[in-house]
Amino acid sequence: MTNVDALRTLAAFAELPEGALRRLAEGVMEEEHPAGSVIFSEGKGGDAVYFILKGDVVIRKTIDKATDAYKVIALLSKGEFFGEMALLESLPRSASAVAQNAATLLKLPAGEFNRLLREDPAAAMRFFKGLVTSLSGRLRQTTREMVAVFEVGRTLVQGLDARPLAARVLTLLKNSFDVEDVFGAFFVWNEFTSEYELAAFEGEWPPDLRRSRLRDDLMFRTMAVKRECVLSRDWTTDERFSENIRGGWKGLTSFLAAPVVGLKGPVGFVVFGHGSRPDVFSPGHRQVVAGVSNLVAPAFENAAWRQEMESRRRLERAKTVSF
């Protein structure tokens, strides 16, 4: 793929005329970054914007330099960009960018953009409009995610039982997505039946999947062992998972799932999907679902404890009446 072809795949360049596209293509550089490599560091000078052709990139902010503690503020994937402030100001980077996995990037130096601005101001403004449009969408998604996390926090203080809690959390997460026709389900561990009970579902959840799952469900077991989310851009062909695993979740094209892990292990799982479109969920979506799953785990443990106490009280009352 030539640089011109690569630029055509990126939304920020969609409105550029052919001549401007070719001029920019002469100045961009393709870079390969292995997993874990630092693309640029917080505090260093910024002189370029990067576009992701392949892989995922983590944007993180240092919290404590002494302990190397940091906070992940964004997780970006194919088609997205970062470091755009270098086009506007000559200031140090405000955060670091790290390749989460092997990543292929296009680097556009600020000097090349400034050259386009001098030679073809109209084309430069079209390019900048594409950046601003993408940033606007990113901000809208961030707002939805912040609202979801805030509302989840308000829900947790209500002391809900497992089923209404699962239904509320599932609704809030689904509403945080910037995609239509997403459906989802929340499965909660039931100690009495020894299975993950379908506690709630949203949208057109496939009828064949409207059932409880066994303790040894292959997908759940995989997530439980690794204690991590699963993001599949095309579940039907994802070779990371066996046909047996994928076959247990038919009717999904895009797939996103997270374990809700308590002190003694998983207390539930939340699963989202899309029935026809691939590549619906982003690493950013995965980050939000994982964060909320960790946040709500203690609430589900408390709900299970309350249910157990209530069952014991009923048993004691029954014994008293029988005597």
Which of 1-5, 21-25, 110-114 bottoms out in mean pLDDT, i.e. has the lowest?
Answer: 1-5
Q: What average pLDDT does range 235-255 have in this prediction?
A: 93
Residue 111 burial (CB < 10 Å; 0-12/13-18/19+)?
A: exposed
The pLDDT-based confidence of 321 (bands split at 50, 70, 90) is low
150 contact partners, CB below 8 Å, separation of at least 6: none
Query: Which domains are assigned to the chain?
Result: 3-139 (2.60.120.10), 158-315 (3.30.450.40)
Q: Per-residue pLDDT tens for 75-103?
A: 888 889 999 988 888 788 999 999 999 99
pLDDT for 38 equals: 95
Q: Is 85 helix (H, G, I), strand (E, B) or coil?
A: helix
pLDDT exceeds cutoff 80 at 110: yes
Q: Please report, rounded to a whole number, the percentage of residues in the chain having pLDDT higher than 70.
A: 97
pLDDT for 1 equals: 58
pTM above 0.75, yes or no: no
Mean pLDDT value across the chain: 89
Residue bearing the bigger pLDDT, 50 or 180: 50
pLDDT exceeds cutoff 80 at 280: yes
